[in-house]
Amino acid sequence: MALKLEPGTRLVVATHNPGKARELAEILENRFRLVSAGELGLPEPDETETSFVGNALLKARAAAEASGLVALADDSGLSAAALDGAPGIYSARWAGPARDFAMAMRKVEERIEETGSQDRGAWFTSALAVAWPGGPAVVVEGRVDGSLTFPPRGDKGFGYDPIFVPENLDLTFGEMDPAAKDAMSHRARAFAKLKAALL
């Protein structure tokens, strides 16, 4: 039988990142009854895999097993072309335990300057995984391309949004309205694939 996610399903959104949780809630609209990992007091698993897809599956499976509910997890990050894709899956870790993204954005700028490269190309990736308790899991990946700008601009969004300008636009994700970001983001593109697969 094909895997389906029925509208109205109780779905645990397995993230401890409030910016991500808000965006996922916006993108999922009112399709599901969302429960947060925080509400259920779910532990944050160590992200021991070496890819976005691997870590998204790991987080979704852990939340599904711990809650007994269908779980959705996102693993995402910013990749700089001049840094061969770094920080990538280490995007959250570059901000340290205090989740200091002003510092993390300076680090991206400094590391690129150290390479001497003029390439400011960058992309965001989001892997979205859905896992059923004791059962199967599905994972998809979405990506948005663009370029980096320094110093950071805008106070909307979260994480690295103030240094990322999506292709063919002038505003950073940090300057765009949330709905405009949601219409083109890596996370929205991953969800479109999930929708095609599961809804």
Give 125-158 as a 3 state SS string.
EEEEEEECCCCCEEEEEEEEEEEECCCCCCCCCC
Radius of gyration of the chain (CA): 17
Residue 180, token pair as written in the block: 């405009």
Among 5, 11, 20, 129, binds ligand ITT (CB under 6 A): 20
Q: Does 124 bind ligand ITT (CB under 6 A)?
A: yes
* DSSP element (H, E) containing 76: strand 70-80
Catalytic residue among 75, 119, 155, 177: 75
* Residue (67 or 91) nearer to ligand ITT, CB: 91
Residue number closest to ligand ITT, CB atom: 159
* Cβ neighbours of residue 116 closer than 8 Å, sequence gap 6 or more: none
Q: Which stretch binds ligand ITT (CB under 6 A): 4-12, 111-119, 132-140, 153-161?
A: 153-161
Q: Does 189 bind ligand ITT (CB under 6 A)?
A: no
Q: Is 75 a catalytic residue?
A: yes
Q: How far apart are CA 47 and CA 52, in angstroms?
A: 10
Residue 67 contacts ligand ITT per CB under 6 A = no
Binding residues (CB under 6 A) for ligand ITT: these are 15-17, 20, 44, 47, 59, 74-78, 91-92, 124, 157-161, 173, 185
